[in-house]
Structure 1
Protein backbone atom coordinates (compact mmCIF):
# COMPACT_ATOMS: atom_id res chain seq x y z
CA UNK A 1 0.00 0.00 0.00
CA UNK A 2 1.44 3.35 -1.04
CA UNK A 3 1.07 5.89 1.75
CA UNK A 4 2.04 8.67 -0.68
CA UNK A 5 -1.45 8.45 -2.10
CA UNK A 6 -2.76 9.39 1.34
CA UNK A 7 -2.07 12.59 3.24
CA UNK A 8 -2.94 14.56 6.34
CA UNK A 9 -3.79 18.24 6.09
CA UNK A 10 -0.70 20.45 6.19
CA UNK A 11 -1.85 21.77 9.59
CA UNK A 12 -1.87 18.33 11.28
CA UNK A 13 0.41 18.32 14.31
CA UNK A 14 0.70 16.95 17.81
CA UNK A 15 -1.62 18.81 20.20
CA UNK A 16 -0.23 18.90 23.77
CA UNK A 17 -3.51 18.32 25.61
CA UNK A 18 -3.60 15.48 28.13
CA UNK A 19 -6.39 14.45 30.53
CA UNK A 20 -6.03 12.32 33.64
CA UNK A 21 -7.67 9.47 31.69
CA UNK A 22 -4.91 9.52 29.05
CA UNK A 23 -3.53 6.03 28.42
CA UNK A 24 -6.26 4.22 30.33
CA UNK A 25 -8.67 1.64 28.97
CA UNK A 26 -12.01 0.46 30.33
CA UNK A 27 -13.81 -2.76 29.44
CA UNK A 28 -17.30 -1.29 29.38
CA UNK A 29 -18.68 -4.68 28.24
CA UNK A 30 -16.77 -7.86 27.32
CA UNK A 31 -16.82 -6.75 23.68
CA UNK A 32 -16.64 -2.96 24.15
CA UNK A 33 -13.27 -1.57 25.17
CA UNK A 34 -12.90 2.19 25.43
CA UNK A 35 -9.38 3.63 25.46
CA UNK A 36 -8.44 7.28 25.98
CA UNK A 37 -5.80 8.82 23.72
CA UNK A 38 -4.90 12.15 25.41
CA UNK A 39 -8.40 13.70 25.42
CA UNK A 40 -10.39 11.51 23.01
CA UNK A 41 -11.80 7.99 23.17
CA UNK A 42 -11.34 5.20 20.67
CA UNK A 43 -13.44 2.03 20.98
CA UNK A 44 -12.55 -1.55 20.12
CA UNK A 45 -15.64 -3.65 19.35
CA UNK A 46 -15.10 -7.39 19.74
CA UNK A 47 -14.32 -9.96 22.43
CA UNK A 48 -10.81 -9.92 23.87
CA UNK A 49 -8.52 -12.19 21.78
CA UNK A 50 -11.47 -12.75 19.45
CA UNK A 51 -11.21 -12.54 15.67
CA UNK A 52 -13.22 -10.06 13.69
CA UNK A 53 -12.94 -6.97 15.88
CA UNK A 54 -13.12 -3.39 14.57
CA UNK A 55 -11.78 -0.05 15.75
CA UNK A 56 -14.08 2.95 16.10
CA UNK A 57 -12.19 6.22 15.42
CA UNK A 58 -8.46 6.74 15.24
CA UNK A 59 -7.21 9.02 18.01
CA UNK A 60 -4.98 12.06 18.06
CA UNK A 61 -2.12 13.00 15.71
CA UNK A 62 0.98 10.99 16.58
CA UNK A 63 -0.85 8.22 18.47
CA UNK A 64 -0.56 5.33 15.97
CA UNK A 65 2.10 3.36 17.88
CA UNK A 66 0.08 3.60 21.08
CA UNK A 67 -3.13 2.45 19.37
CA UNK A 68 -1.36 -0.49 17.68
CA UNK A 69 0.16 -1.51 21.00
CA UNK A 70 -3.24 -1.39 22.78
CA UNK A 71 -4.82 -3.45 19.98
CA UNK A 72 -2.05 -6.07 20.08
CA UNK A 73 -2.18 -6.34 23.85
CA UNK A 74 -5.94 -6.89 23.85
CA UNK A 75 -6.39 -9.00 20.73
CA UNK A 76 -2.98 -10.56 20.08
CA UNK A 77 -0.04 -9.50 17.94
CA UNK A 78 -1.12 -11.24 14.75
CA UNK A 79 -4.77 -10.26 15.03
CA UNK A 80 -5.44 -6.99 13.26
CA UNK A 81 -8.85 -5.31 13.18
CA UNK A 82 -11.09 -5.98 10.19
CA UNK A 83 -11.81 -2.30 9.62
CA UNK A 84 -11.82 1.18 11.11
CA UNK A 85 -15.23 2.84 11.42
CA UNK A 86 -15.24 6.63 11.77
CA UNK A 87 -17.94 8.50 13.65
CA UNK A 88 -16.66 11.59 11.81
CA UNK A 89 -13.47 13.07 10.42
CA UNK A 90 -12.33 15.74 12.88
CA UNK A 91 -8.59 15.71 13.62
CA UNK A 92 -8.95 14.11 17.07
CA UNK A 93 -10.89 11.18 15.59
CA UNK A 94 -8.65 10.54 12.55
CA UNK A 95 -5.31 11.64 14.00
CA UNK A 96 -3.47 8.34 13.47
CA UNK A 97 -5.52 6.88 10.65
CA UNK A 98 -2.96 6.96 7.83
CA UNK A 99 -0.36 5.05 9.83
CA UNK A 100 -2.99 2.56 11.04
CA UNK A 101 -4.30 1.93 7.52
CA UNK A 102 -0.76 1.43 6.27
CA UNK A 103 0.27 -0.83 9.15
CA UNK A 104 -2.84 -3.01 9.18
CA UNK A 105 -3.80 -2.72 5.50
CA UNK A 106 -7.51 -2.48 6.32
CA UNK A 107 -10.43 -0.45 4.96
CA UNK A 108 -12.01 2.59 6.60
CA UNK A 109 -15.77 3.18 6.58
CA UNK A 110 -17.63 6.45 7.11
CA UNK A 111 -20.97 7.99 6.21
CA UNK A 112 -21.17 9.03 2.58
CA UNK A 113 -21.60 12.70 3.59
CA UNK A 114 -18.31 12.54 5.51
CA UNK A 115 -16.31 11.07 2.62
CA UNK A 116 -15.48 14.47 1.00
CA UNK A 117 -13.77 15.52 4.25
CA UNK A 118 -11.74 12.29 4.22
CA UNK A 119 -10.65 12.45 0.58
CA UNK A 120 -9.33 16.01 0.42
CA UNK A 121 -12.39 17.39 -1.38
CA UNK A 122 -13.78 19.57 1.45
CA UNK A 123 -12.49 21.10 4.67
CA UNK A 124 -14.62 21.57 7.77
CA UNK A 125 -15.56 25.11 8.82
CA UNK A 126 -12.78 26.72 10.86
CA UNK A 127 -13.05 26.15 14.61
CA UNK A 128 -14.67 29.12 16.33
CA UNK A 129 -12.53 30.67 19.10
CA UNK A 130 -15.21 33.36 19.61
CA UNK A 131 -17.86 30.86 20.73
CA UNK A 132 -19.15 30.98 24.31
CA UNK A 133 -17.03 28.56 26.33
CA UNK A 134 -13.86 27.99 28.29
CA UNK A 135 -10.17 27.99 27.51
CA UNK A 136 -10.19 25.14 24.96
CA UNK A 137 -12.77 27.01 22.87
CA UNK A 138 -10.52 30.08 22.95
CA UNK A 139 -7.47 28.22 21.63
CA UNK A 140 -9.44 26.07 19.15
CA UNK A 141 -8.08 28.06 16.18
CA UNK A 142 -4.81 26.17 16.78
CA UNK A 143 -6.46 22.80 16.09
CA UNK A 144 -5.82 21.03 12.76
CA UNK A 145 -8.74 21.52 10.42
CA UNK A 146 -7.72 20.76 6.84
CA UNK A 147 -9.21 17.63 5.33
CA UNK A 148 -7.14 14.50 5.15
CA UNK A 149 -6.99 12.34 2.06
CA UNK A 150 -7.53 8.61 2.48
CA UNK A 151 -8.05 8.14 -1.24
CA UNK A 152 -9.58 4.79 -2.08
CA UNK A 153 -8.98 3.39 1.41
CA UNK A 154 -12.20 4.97 2.72
CA UNK A 155 -15.58 3.54 1.70
CA UNK A 156 -19.13 4.68 2.42
CA UNK A 157 -21.01 2.65 5.03
CA UNK A 158 -23.82 0.44 3.68
CA UNK A 159 -26.99 2.48 3.26
CA UNK A 160 -29.10 -0.10 5.16
CA UNK A 161 -27.57 0.92 8.51
CA UNK A 162 -25.45 -2.20 8.86
CA UNK A 163 -21.76 -2.06 9.80
CA UNK A 164 -19.24 -4.42 8.20
CA UNK A 165 -17.88 -7.09 10.61
CA UNK A 166 -20.00 -6.09 13.65
CA UNK A 167 -23.40 -7.33 12.62
CA UNK A 168 -25.30 -6.72 15.86
CA UNK A 169 -24.63 -3.00 15.62
CA UNK A 170 -26.23 -0.45 13.33
CA UNK A 171 -25.14 3.06 12.47
CA UNK A 172 -27.45 6.05 12.85
CA UNK A 173 -26.95 9.32 11.01
CA UNK A 174 -26.53 11.95 13.75
CA UNK A 175 -25.45 15.13 11.91
CA UNK A 176 -24.92 18.61 13.30
CA UNK A 177 -21.40 18.36 14.65
CA UNK A 178 -20.42 17.34 11.09
CA UNK A 179 -22.63 16.57 8.06
CA UNK A 180 -21.87 12.83 8.05
CA UNK A 181 -21.53 12.22 11.78
CA UNK A 182 -22.76 8.80 12.88
CA UNK A 183 -23.48 7.08 16.16
CA UNK A 184 -23.37 3.29 16.59
CA UNK A 185 -26.04 1.33 18.47
CA UNK A 186 -26.80 -2.24 19.53
CA UNK A 187 -30.44 -2.78 20.35
CA UNK A 188 -30.17 -6.01 22.40
CA UNK A 189 -28.32 -4.34 25.30
CA UNK A 190 -28.92 -0.68 24.32
CA UNK A 191 -25.21 0.05 23.94
CA UNK A 192 -24.41 3.34 22.26
CA UNK A 193 -21.15 4.67 20.81
CA UNK A 194 -22.15 8.30 20.35
CA UNK A 195 -19.05 9.91 18.86
CA UNK A 196 -19.40 13.65 19.45
CA UNK A 197 -23.20 13.83 18.98
CA UNK A 198 -23.11 14.41 22.73
CA UNK A 199 -20.18 14.04 25.07
CA UNK A 200 -19.59 13.15 28.71
CA UNK A 201 -17.46 16.16 29.59
CA UNK A 202 -17.64 19.89 28.84
CA UNK A 203 -15.17 19.78 25.99
CA UNK A 204 -14.66 23.54 25.73
CA UNK A 205 -13.55 23.77 29.39
CA UNK A 206 -9.87 23.11 30.08
CA UNK A 207 -10.54 22.20 33.72
CA UNK A 208 -13.30 19.73 32.80
CA UNK A 209 -11.21 18.10 30.07
CA UNK A 210 -8.08 17.77 32.22
CA UNK A 211 -9.95 16.36 35.22
CA UNK A 212 -12.57 14.45 33.13
CA UNK A 213 -15.33 15.95 35.28
CA UNK A 214 -18.36 13.97 34.20
CA UNK A 215 -21.19 16.05 32.76
CA UNK A 216 -23.44 15.24 29.79
CA UNK A 217 -22.92 18.02 27.27
CA UNK A 218 -23.77 18.79 23.68
CA UNK A 219 -21.20 18.40 20.91
CA UNK A 220 -17.97 20.42 21.27
CA UNK A 221 -19.08 24.01 20.68
CA UNK A 222 -16.08 25.35 18.80
CA UNK A 223 -16.43 22.65 16.11
CA UNK A 224 -20.23 22.46 15.69
CA UNK A 225 -21.68 24.50 12.80
CA UNK A 226 -25.29 23.21 12.65
CA UNK A 227 -27.04 23.39 16.00
CA UNK A 228 -30.51 22.59 14.65
CA UNK A 229 -29.37 19.22 13.28
CA UNK A 230 -27.28 18.61 16.41
CA UNK A 231 -30.41 19.02 18.55
CA UNK A 232 -32.40 16.63 16.35
CA UNK A 233 -29.57 14.10 16.64
CA UNK A 234 -29.59 14.28 20.45
CA UNK A 235 -33.37 13.76 20.39
CA UNK A 236 -32.88 10.69 18.18
CA UNK A 237 -30.36 9.21 20.63
CA UNK A 238 -32.39 10.11 23.73
CA UNK A 239 -35.40 8.24 22.27
CA UNK A 240 -33.28 5.07 22.16
CA UNK A 241 -32.91 5.34 25.96
CA UNK A 242 -29.42 3.78 25.90
CA UNK A 243 -28.26 1.79 28.93
CA UNK A 244 -24.58 2.42 28.20
CA UNK A 245 -22.98 5.26 26.24
CA UNK A 246 -19.38 5.70 25.21
CA UNK A 247 -18.88 9.21 23.84
CA UNK A 248 -15.95 10.76 22.05
CA UNK A 249 -14.83 12.64 25.15
CA UNK A 250 -15.22 11.84 28.85
CA UNK A 251 -15.92 8.67 30.80
CA UNK A 252 -18.43 5.99 29.78
CA UNK A 253 -21.96 6.66 31.04
CA UNK A 254 -24.51 4.26 32.52
CA UNK A 255 -27.53 4.17 34.81
CA UNK A 256 -29.41 7.20 36.03
CA UNK A 257 -26.63 9.64 35.14
CA UNK A 258 -27.04 8.63 31.49
CA UNK A 259 -30.83 8.25 31.31
CA UNK A 260 -31.62 11.46 33.20
CA UNK A 261 -28.74 13.43 31.75
CA UNK A 262 -29.50 12.57 28.14
CA UNK A 263 -33.23 13.28 28.50
CA UNK A 264 -32.38 16.57 30.16
CA UNK A 265 -29.97 17.46 27.36
CA UNK A 266 -32.63 16.68 24.74
CA UNK A 267 -35.30 18.70 26.55
CA UNK A 268 -33.10 21.71 27.30
CA UNK A 269 -30.62 21.54 24.44
CA UNK A 270 -31.02 25.23 23.62
CA UNK A 271 -30.09 26.15 27.21
CA UNK A 272 -27.42 23.51 27.91
CA UNK A 273 -25.71 22.92 24.59
CA UNK A 274 -26.24 25.83 22.22
CA UNK A 275 -23.83 28.65 23.10
CA UNK A 276 -25.15 32.16 23.73
CA UNK A 277 -22.83 33.54 21.07
CA UNK A 278 -20.54 32.35 18.31
CA UNK A 279 -20.35 32.22 14.52
CA UNK A 280 -22.75 29.30 14.16
CA UNK A 281 -25.38 30.61 16.59
CA UNK A 282 -28.24 32.11 14.68
CA UNK A 283 -31.90 31.70 15.44
CA UNK A 284 -31.68 28.83 17.90
CA UNK A 285 -31.69 30.71 21.19
CA UNK A 286 -35.18 31.35 22.54
Structure 2
Protein backbone atom coordinates (compact mmCIF):
# COMPACT_ATOMS: atom_id res chain seq x y z
CA UNK A 1 0.00 0.00 0.00
CA UNK A 2 2.94 2.33 0.68
CA UNK A 3 3.57 5.08 -1.79
CA UNK A 4 0.41 4.37 -3.77
CA UNK A 5 -2.83 6.31 -3.76
CA UNK A 6 -5.52 4.15 -2.16
CA UNK A 7 -8.81 4.34 -4.02
CA UNK A 8 -12.03 2.70 -2.89
CA UNK A 9 -14.71 2.17 -5.56
CA UNK A 10 -18.30 1.11 -4.97
CA UNK A 11 -18.72 -1.34 -7.86
CA UNK A 12 -16.96 -2.92 -10.82
CA UNK A 13 -17.20 -0.27 -13.58
CA UNK A 14 -15.56 2.32 -11.33
CA UNK A 15 -12.96 -0.19 -10.21
CA UNK A 16 -12.17 -0.85 -13.86
CA UNK A 17 -11.77 2.87 -14.61
CA UNK A 18 -9.69 3.54 -11.49
CA UNK A 19 -7.40 0.58 -12.24
CA UNK A 20 -6.90 1.50 -15.89
CA UNK A 21 -6.28 5.20 -15.23
CA UNK A 22 -4.44 4.70 -11.92
CA UNK A 23 -2.10 2.07 -13.31
CA UNK A 24 0.83 1.35 -11.01
CA UNK A 25 0.32 4.55 -9.02
CA UNK A 26 -2.95 3.38 -7.51
CA UNK A 27 -4.11 0.62 -5.20
CA UNK A 28 -7.81 0.21 -6.06
CA UNK A 29 -10.20 -1.77 -3.89
CA UNK A 30 -13.77 -2.55 -4.89
CA UNK A 31 -16.50 -2.79 -2.24
CA UNK A 32 -19.49 -4.55 -3.83
CA UNK A 33 -18.58 -8.16 -4.69
CA UNK A 34 -19.48 -9.78 -8.03
CA UNK A 35 -22.99 -11.16 -8.24
CA UNK A 36 -24.36 -8.69 -5.71
CA UNK A 37 -26.62 -5.87 -6.82
CA UNK A 38 -25.00 -2.52 -5.89
CA UNK A 39 -28.48 -1.30 -4.90
CA UNK A 40 -28.97 -4.14 -2.39
CA UNK A 41 -25.53 -4.21 -0.83
CA UNK A 42 -24.72 -2.58 2.49
CA UNK A 43 -21.29 -1.88 3.97
CA UNK A 44 -19.76 -3.62 7.00
CA UNK A 45 -17.43 -2.07 9.58
CA UNK A 46 -14.34 -3.41 7.80
CA UNK A 47 -15.43 -1.48 4.68
CA UNK A 48 -15.47 1.66 6.78
CA UNK A 49 -11.95 0.95 8.06
CA UNK A 50 -10.80 0.43 4.51
CA UNK A 51 -12.29 3.73 3.34
CA UNK A 52 -10.89 5.59 6.34
CA UNK A 53 -7.37 4.69 5.23
CA UNK A 54 -7.94 5.59 1.58
CA UNK A 55 -7.39 8.93 -0.13
CA UNK A 56 -10.26 8.68 -2.60
CA UNK A 57 -13.76 7.20 -2.59
CA UNK A 58 -15.47 6.93 -5.98
CA UNK A 59 -19.18 6.22 -6.22
CA UNK A 60 -21.61 6.28 -9.13
CA UNK A 61 -24.33 8.43 -7.62
CA UNK A 62 -27.58 9.01 -9.53
CA UNK A 63 -29.25 7.02 -6.75
CA UNK A 64 -27.36 3.78 -7.37
CA UNK A 65 -25.83 3.42 -3.91
CA UNK A 66 -28.38 4.53 -1.36
CA UNK A 67 -26.00 3.75 1.50
CA UNK A 68 -23.20 6.24 0.72
CA UNK A 69 -24.46 9.17 2.82
CA UNK A 70 -24.62 7.17 6.06
CA UNK A 71 -21.42 5.34 5.21
CA UNK A 72 -19.45 8.54 4.80
CA UNK A 73 -20.90 9.98 8.03
CA UNK A 74 -19.34 7.00 9.81
CA UNK A 75 -15.78 7.85 8.78
CA UNK A 76 -13.33 8.81 11.48
CA UNK A 77 -12.92 12.55 11.97
CA UNK A 78 -9.23 12.24 11.08
CA UNK A 79 -10.01 10.78 7.67
CA UNK A 80 -8.80 12.89 4.75
CA UNK A 81 -10.96 10.94 2.32
CA UNK A 82 -12.00 12.81 -0.82
CA UNK A 83 -15.35 11.55 -2.14
CA UNK A 84 -16.50 12.05 -5.70
CA UNK A 85 -19.62 11.20 -7.69
CA UNK A 86 -18.73 9.72 -11.06
CA UNK A 87 -22.04 10.22 -12.87
CA UNK A 88 -21.54 13.98 -12.62
CA UNK A 89 -22.06 15.74 -15.94
CA UNK A 90 -24.12 12.96 -17.55
CA UNK A 91 -27.58 14.07 -18.52
CA UNK A 92 -29.67 11.75 -16.37
CA UNK A 93 -32.78 9.89 -17.49
CA UNK A 94 -35.81 10.62 -15.30
CA UNK A 95 -37.61 7.81 -13.54
CA UNK A 96 -35.75 5.11 -11.63
CA UNK A 97 -37.04 1.91 -13.23
CA UNK A 98 -36.39 -0.20 -10.16
CA UNK A 99 -37.88 1.92 -7.40
CA UNK A 100 -41.48 1.92 -8.52
CA UNK A 101 -42.68 -0.52 -5.88
CA UNK A 102 -41.17 1.28 -2.90
CA UNK A 103 -43.09 3.83 -0.89
CA UNK A 104 -40.53 6.59 -0.84
CA UNK A 105 -42.84 9.58 -1.09
CA UNK A 106 -42.05 10.69 2.43
CA UNK A 107 -38.34 10.88 1.82
CA UNK A 108 -38.26 13.60 -0.78
CA UNK A 109 -36.95 16.30 1.57
CA UNK A 110 -34.39 15.92 4.28
CA UNK A 111 -33.90 18.19 7.28
CA UNK A 112 -31.88 20.71 5.33
CA UNK A 113 -34.82 21.31 3.05
CA UNK A 114 -33.17 20.32 -0.20
CA UNK A 115 -34.80 17.44 -2.02
CA UNK A 116 -32.91 14.31 -2.92
CA UNK A 117 -33.87 14.06 -6.55
CA UNK A 118 -33.25 10.36 -6.83
CA UNK A 119 -36.03 9.66 -9.28
CA UNK A 120 -33.52 8.96 -12.02
CA UNK A 121 -32.23 5.88 -13.79
CA UNK A 122 -28.86 5.10 -12.15
CA UNK A 123 -27.47 2.77 -14.88
CA UNK A 124 -25.27 5.42 -16.50
CA UNK A 125 -22.21 3.21 -17.15
CA UNK A 126 -24.03 0.84 -19.51
CA UNK A 127 -23.50 3.26 -22.42
CA UNK A 128 -20.01 3.83 -23.87
CA UNK A 129 -20.91 7.51 -24.33
CA UNK A 130 -21.60 7.92 -20.60
CA UNK A 131 -18.64 5.87 -19.43
CA UNK A 132 -16.33 8.19 -21.40
CA UNK A 133 -17.54 11.06 -19.19
CA UNK A 134 -17.15 8.89 -16.10
CA UNK A 135 -13.55 8.05 -17.11
CA UNK A 136 -12.79 11.75 -17.29
CA UNK A 137 -14.32 12.23 -13.82
CA UNK A 138 -12.13 9.41 -12.45
CA UNK A 139 -9.01 10.95 -14.00
CA UNK A 140 -9.82 14.40 -12.60
CA UNK A 141 -10.38 12.93 -9.13
CA UNK A 142 -7.05 11.07 -9.20
CA UNK A 143 -5.22 14.22 -10.29
CA UNK A 144 -6.96 16.14 -7.49
CA UNK A 145 -5.78 13.79 -4.71
CA UNK A 146 -2.39 12.95 -6.25
CA UNK A 147 -1.19 15.88 -8.40
CA UNK A 148 2.39 14.57 -8.35
CA UNK A 149 1.39 11.76 -10.72
CA UNK A 150 -0.76 13.89 -13.02
CA UNK A 151 1.28 13.04 -16.15
CA UNK A 152 0.90 9.31 -15.57
CA UNK A 153 -2.87 9.62 -15.03
CA UNK A 154 -3.25 11.78 -18.15
CA UNK A 155 -1.37 9.22 -20.27
CA UNK A 156 -3.34 6.25 -18.95
CA UNK A 157 -6.57 8.17 -19.39
CA UNK A 158 -5.71 9.02 -23.00
CA UNK A 159 -5.07 5.32 -23.74
CA UNK A 160 -8.33 4.25 -22.07
CA UNK A 161 -10.29 7.05 -23.74
CA UNK A 162 -9.10 5.85 -27.15
CA UNK A 163 -10.39 2.32 -26.38
CA UNK A 164 -13.74 3.63 -25.14
CA UNK A 165 -14.07 5.92 -28.12
CA UNK A 166 -13.46 2.98 -30.48
CA UNK A 167 -16.16 1.04 -28.60
CA UNK A 168 -18.58 3.96 -28.92
CA UNK A 169 -17.90 4.25 -32.65
CA UNK A 170 -18.48 0.53 -33.11
CA UNK A 171 -21.83 0.77 -31.27
CA UNK A 172 -22.77 3.83 -33.31
CA UNK A 173 -21.88 2.28 -36.67
CA UNK A 174 -23.41 -1.15 -36.06
CA UNK A 175 -26.61 -0.09 -34.30
CA UNK A 176 -27.40 2.64 -36.81
CA UNK A 177 -27.56 -0.11 -39.49
CA UNK A 178 -30.09 -2.34 -37.71
CA UNK A 179 -33.59 -2.49 -39.13
CA UNK A 180 -35.25 -3.07 -35.76
CA UNK A 181 -34.90 -0.70 -32.82
CA UNK A 182 -36.87 -2.45 -30.03
CA UNK A 183 -35.06 -4.38 -27.32
CA UNK A 184 -37.00 -6.39 -24.76
CA UNK A 185 -35.06 -6.83 -21.51
CA UNK A 186 -35.63 -8.48 -18.14
CA UNK A 187 -33.64 -5.84 -16.20
CA UNK A 188 -34.39 -2.25 -17.04
CA UNK A 189 -30.72 -1.26 -17.10
CA UNK A 190 -30.29 -0.21 -20.70
CA UNK A 191 -31.94 3.22 -20.81
CA UNK A 192 -28.70 5.14 -21.45
CA UNK A 193 -27.58 2.65 -24.06
CA UNK A 194 -30.96 2.89 -25.80
CA UNK A 195 -30.99 6.70 -25.67
CA UNK A 196 -27.44 7.08 -26.96
CA UNK A 197 -27.76 4.66 -29.87
CA UNK A 198 -31.34 5.16 -31.04
CA UNK A 199 -32.96 2.05 -29.53
CA UNK A 200 -36.19 1.57 -27.55
CA UNK A 201 -36.08 -0.48 -24.35
CA UNK A 202 -39.12 -2.40 -23.14
CA UNK A 203 -38.64 -4.20 -19.86
CA UNK A 204 -40.55 -7.32 -18.96
CA UNK A 205 -41.71 -6.23 -15.54
CA UNK A 206 -42.30 -8.80 -12.84
CA UNK A 207 -39.87 -11.22 -14.43
CA UNK A 208 -36.97 -11.95 -12.12
CA UNK A 209 -34.60 -14.64 -13.40
CA UNK A 210 -35.82 -17.24 -10.90
CA UNK A 211 -39.51 -16.31 -10.83
CA UNK A 212 -42.04 -18.19 -12.86
CA UNK A 213 -43.77 -15.64 -15.06
CA UNK A 214 -47.47 -15.20 -14.39
CA UNK A 215 -49.96 -16.04 -17.13
CA UNK A 216 -50.74 -12.36 -17.72
CA UNK A 217 -47.02 -11.52 -18.02
CA UNK A 218 -46.66 -14.17 -20.69
CA UNK A 219 -49.71 -12.96 -22.58
CA UNK A 220 -48.44 -9.40 -22.52
CA UNK A 221 -44.98 -10.43 -23.68
CA UNK A 222 -46.39 -12.66 -26.40
CA UNK A 223 -48.54 -9.78 -27.66
CA UNK A 224 -45.66 -7.28 -27.68
CA UNK A 225 -43.34 -9.79 -29.31
CA UNK A 226 -45.85 -10.49 -32.06
CA UNK A 227 -46.74 -6.86 -32.73
CA UNK A 228 -43.11 -5.77 -32.91
CA UNK A 229 -41.67 -8.84 -34.62
CA UNK A 230 -39.30 -9.48 -31.70
CA UNK A 231 -37.15 -12.62 -32.01
CA UNK A 232 -35.14 -12.45 -28.80
CA UNK A 233 -35.69 -11.38 -25.19
CA UNK A 234 -32.62 -10.23 -23.29
CA UNK A 235 -31.74 -11.56 -19.86
CA UNK A 236 -28.84 -10.69 -17.63
CA UNK A 237 -27.16 -14.03 -17.29
CA UNK A 238 -28.26 -17.39 -18.47
CA UNK A 239 -31.76 -17.56 -17.24
CA UNK A 240 -33.41 -20.67 -15.80
CA UNK A 241 -34.10 -23.02 -18.72
CA UNK A 242 -37.73 -23.48 -17.64
CA UNK A 243 -38.40 -19.78 -18.03
CA UNK A 244 -36.57 -19.63 -21.36
CA UNK A 245 -38.50 -22.65 -22.63
CA UNK A 246 -41.83 -21.28 -21.46
CA UNK A 247 -41.14 -17.99 -23.20
CA UNK A 248 -39.92 -19.75 -26.31
CA UNK A 249 -43.04 -21.86 -26.60
CA UNK A 250 -45.59 -19.21 -25.52
CA UNK A 251 -44.11 -16.23 -27.30
CA UNK A 252 -42.15 -18.02 -30.04
CA UNK A 253 -39.05 -16.17 -28.96
CA UNK A 254 -35.48 -17.05 -27.93
CA UNK A 255 -33.35 -15.56 -25.17
CA UNK A 256 -29.98 -13.83 -25.36
CA UNK A 257 -27.72 -12.35 -22.70
CA UNK A 258 -27.41 -8.58 -22.29
CA UNK A 259 -25.09 -7.82 -19.41
CA UNK A 260 -25.54 -4.61 -17.36
CA UNK A 261 -21.92 -5.09 -16.15
CA UNK A 262 -22.53 -4.34 -12.48
CA UNK A 263 -19.87 -6.89 -11.52
CA UNK A 264 -17.70 -9.66 -12.98
CA UNK A 265 -18.53 -13.30 -12.29
CA UNK A 266 -15.63 -15.53 -11.20
CA UNK A 267 -15.75 -17.17 -14.67
CA UNK A 268 -15.48 -13.79 -16.40
CA UNK A 269 -12.55 -12.86 -14.16
CA UNK A 270 -10.79 -16.12 -15.01
CA UNK A 271 -11.29 -15.48 -18.72
CA UNK A 272 -9.78 -12.02 -18.35
CA UNK A 273 -13.00 -10.25 -19.34
CA UNK A 274 -13.38 -6.55 -18.60
CA UNK A 275 -15.83 -3.74 -19.31
CA UNK A 276 -14.80 -3.52 -22.96
CA UNK A 277 -14.94 -7.24 -23.81
CA UNK A 278 -18.34 -7.56 -22.09
CA UNK A 279 -19.70 -4.54 -23.95
CA UNK A 280 -18.44 -6.00 -27.22
CA UNK A 281 -20.32 -9.23 -26.43
CA UNK A 282 -23.42 -7.11 -25.69
CA UNK A 283 -23.07 -5.43 -29.07
CA UNK A 284 -22.88 -8.77 -30.91
CA UNK A 285 -26.09 -9.92 -29.18
CA UNK A 286 -27.84 -6.63 -29.95
CA UNK A 287 -26.91 -6.93 -33.63
CA UNK A 288 -28.22 -10.50 -33.68
CA UNK A 289 -31.55 -9.50 -32.12
CA UNK A 290 -32.10 -6.37 -34.18
CA UNK A 291 -31.26 -7.51 -37.70
TM-score class normalised by the smaller sequence? 0.3 to 0.5
* Larger Rg over CA atoms: 2
TM-score (norm 1): 0.34
More helix as a share of residues: 2
